[in-house]
Amino acid sequence: MSLAMKVERSAAIASAVGRRGYRLTGPRRAVLDVLAGAGEPMTVAAIHAALRPRRANVVSVYRTVNLLAGLGVLRLTPGVSSRQPARYELGEPFAGHHHHLVCQGCGRIEDVAGCLIPADDLARMSQRMRRTRRFRVTEHDLRLLGMCGTCEQ
Amino acid sequence: MSLAMKVERSAAIASAVGRRGYRLTGPRRAVLDVLAGAGEPMTVAAIHAALRPRRANVVSVYRTVNLLAGLGVLRLTPGVSSRQPARYELGEPFAGHHHHLVCQGCGRIEDVAGCLIPADDLARMSQRMRRTRRFRVTEHDLRLLGMCGTCEQ
DNA sequence: GTGTTTGCAAACTTTTTGCATGAGC
DNA sequence: GCTCATGCAAAAAGTTTGCAAACAC
């Protein structure tokens, strides 16, 4: 991602937060910086560990991800097992649409940019859910589970 | 699902458990019965609440889902938000391949039987992940998020 | 009879809340 | 100056573990 795009994204996030009367403070900015640089969903503990000491308390990380997830700036993605807590990543408007590869060996999650499902298939399944289940599909979430190159050996 | 299929499924589960030296006891059978009758993924708390009083302690429900998930009899599916704990359902060999509708209004999760992604699309994306990411896809997990008929109004 | 499984109590982990202090507009 | 945000401590929720008694085979 180019520098210009990053700057633009930061501005969009600042606007999404500020528009609703919330402040983009030091701890909040620090959490966003970590997630923007990560390229994969992170747990609260991992975010906190990645912050330089004293930039934010764990409690503030919790409050930040809850607030920002509510604003749609962050998105919660499922972990691999019950032992692993929830992970957060930038929301779709900011990170772009993408899917996840989940390695069942090591638990690593990798992003795959773009959509792997052809648009007309998506349209077809949305229409089918609407007709047969009275369910209006607005988003989808595809995870491919398997083995990464390292675990395969 | 017909009675004959249910009986067959119970036998397959009993075999999967017994073959590996574990016993299919009262509490374990009770948990399986609840999940087999549910048609949607359930949290540990929900499973426990659905059990008739004194059929199993919460701790035993935890131990049971962990054991059975390890054996592949149960499968863990992601909840809707961080507040909601993990949910369990029968594993694919026993429940059949299916996807989930997740209502963002009420949090309800519904099963959709069968696969919504055309087989050749799946084959194509698996091959692509193998070539470009050295990742061998063995399973996939599709969730359609949106609004159910009740919440829509 | 032997080894597994259960229930209870307690520990542990993760996440939320109350409250006084401090920072942003 | 007023309000929102932070840190600390404590509480609450969710999940796991140790151990003696009960159960399955």
Residue B100 predicted with pLDDT over 60: yes
Of A82, A110, A140, the CB nearest to B142: A140
Q: Say whether A135 and B145 touch across the interface (CB within 8 A).
A: no
As a whole number of angstroms, the distance between CA A51 and CA A47 comes to: 6
Confidence of residue B130 (pLDDT cuts 50, 70, 90): very high
Chain D positions within 7 A of any protein Cβ atom are 4-10, 14-18, 23-25
DSSP three-state, residue B103 = strand
Strand residue runs (E) in A51-114: 74-77, 87-90, 98-103, 109-113
Residue B82 predicted with pLDDT over 60: no
**Whole-prediction pTM value?**
0.84
Residue A48 predicted with pLDDT over 80: yes
Q: Say whether B112 and A129 touch across the interface (CB within 8 A).
A: yes
pLDDT in tens, B36-75: 999 889 999 999 999 987 889 999 999 999 999 999 899 8
B120 CB near a chain A CB, below 8 Å? no
Question: What confidence score (pLDDT) does residue B71 get?
Answer: 92
Residue B92 predicted with pLDDT over 60: yes
As a whole number of angstroms, the distance between CA B5 and CA B13 comes to: 12
pLDDT in tens, A67-112: 999 898 998 886 555 566 888 999 999 999 999 998 888 778 889 9
